[in-house]
């Protein structure tokens, strides 16, 4: 009877060790196939210029809407520039902008680059007069820009 208990205990330990090993291998496999920049929530305009995305690559760009750059075209097409105060990228968007979207405020857009213009499929904007997306603030700070110097507007 004691031999049967030891066999059950050994099988249970083997099963747990096998499952832990499979979990480790699976986690390592996922880590290996993820692109290095998949962790970044968005790219700043300076990062887009210094390391251009691949043709057709969908990514996010974030920064501040440059003052005086919003141009409303025919229909729902809107063009504007996003900046990190060092570099600016023109953005084209067809659709309805968020209510809180305005010049001088933080935004993040998803889309692709097409001949030097970022064609956005989605735009996210700040939610109150003092809010800037954390990623925008972090990117500005990483570039040595004091966010208190950036003007706020509604």
Four-residue CA torsion sign, 44, 147, 134, 100 = negative
CA distance 123 to 85: 19
Examine the pLDDT at 6 and tell me if it is beyond 50: yes
Residue 22 has pLDDT above 90, yes or no: yes
Residue 81: CB atoms within 10 Å: 21
Give the residue among 145, 149, 153 at the shortest CA–CA distance from 103: 153
Homologous superfamily of 39-149: Nucleic acid-binding proteins (2.40.50.140)
Domain definitions of the chain by residue range: 2-34, 39-149
Asked which of 38-47, 98-107, 125-134 is least confident by mean pLDDT, the reply is 125-134
Judge whether residue 151 has pLDDT over 50.
no
Exposure of 146 by Cβ count < 10 A (0-12 exposed, 13-18 middle, 19+ buried)? exposed
């Amino acid at each position: 009877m004691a031999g049967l208990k030891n066999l059950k205990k050994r099988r249970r330990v083997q099963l747990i060790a096998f499952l832990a090993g499979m979990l480790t291998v699976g986690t390592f496999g996922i880590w290996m196939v993820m692109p290095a920049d998949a962790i970044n929530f968005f790219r700043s305009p300076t990062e887009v210029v210094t390391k251009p995305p691949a043709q057709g690559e969908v990514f996010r760009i974030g920064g501040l809407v440059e003052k005086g750059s919003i141009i409303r075209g025919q229909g729902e097409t809107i063009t504007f520039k996003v900046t990190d105060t060092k570099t600016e990228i023109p953005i084209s968007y067809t659709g309805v902008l968020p209510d809180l979207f305005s010049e001088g405020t933080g935004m993040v857009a998803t889309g692709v680059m097409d001949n030097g213009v970022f064609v956005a499929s989605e735009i996210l904007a700040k939610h109150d007069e003092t809010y800037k997306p954390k990623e925008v603030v972090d990117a500005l700070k990483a570039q040595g820009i004091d966010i208190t110097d950036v003007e706020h507007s509604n």
